[in-house]
Chain A
Amino acid sequence: GAVVSQHPSWVICKSGTSVKIECRSLDFQATTMFWYRQFPKQSLMLMATSNEGSKATYEQGVEKDKFLINHASLTLSTLTVTSAHPEDSSFYICSARDLENEQFFGPGTRLTVL
């Protein structure tokens, strides 16, 4: 089956620093990738949709300058949380859409900002 990986699986950083999270489709090409955020005891919230080679589309209320998304190739998308603060601590999950338009999810990245 289609596999999506994320790196790192967890990260702890100081307030004010930037953190980059990678999302890779390992055995298929993904023209579209999605980034979700999940707070404890809550559901997944879609943050943005990224298409290879073009600017990401952000959901309402998500700051595009805070959460930088780059989808430079058909197998890699990155999410950079800039100037992270404790309220950005969350579980970040990516998913990738294959050529048959099915979506597969990564294992998630746990971000803790001190």
Chain B
Amino acid sequence: AQSVTQLGSHVSVSEGALVLLRCNYSSSVPPYLFWYVQYPNQGLQLLLKYTTGATLVKGINGFEAEFKKSETSFHLTKPSAHMSDAAEYFCAVSEGSGYSTLTFGKGTMLLVSP
């Protein structure tokens, strides 16, 4: 069975600082990996995804993530935080078949201070 662990329910950074949100996964087959962002009382928006190919994936709003198979990780980074990045971030894994479903981590709330 697939699972996702997000380290840290809350992460605080200063505006302009590096953002690092950690995600580790467990999957019995090569995984498909996703990061979503959620603003208060809204649905989830896809930030980026890894399916096959290049292990460094670039997404929207300056975010990127690197798939590291040996570490079973898919950490999300952004070089310089903006106030508008404050939101909840979810990592998710799928086992890639047509009938598989997305399993989400519990989320990490990113707080950005001026």
Report if A and B associate in a common complex: no
Residues of A that sit less than 8 Å from B by CB: none
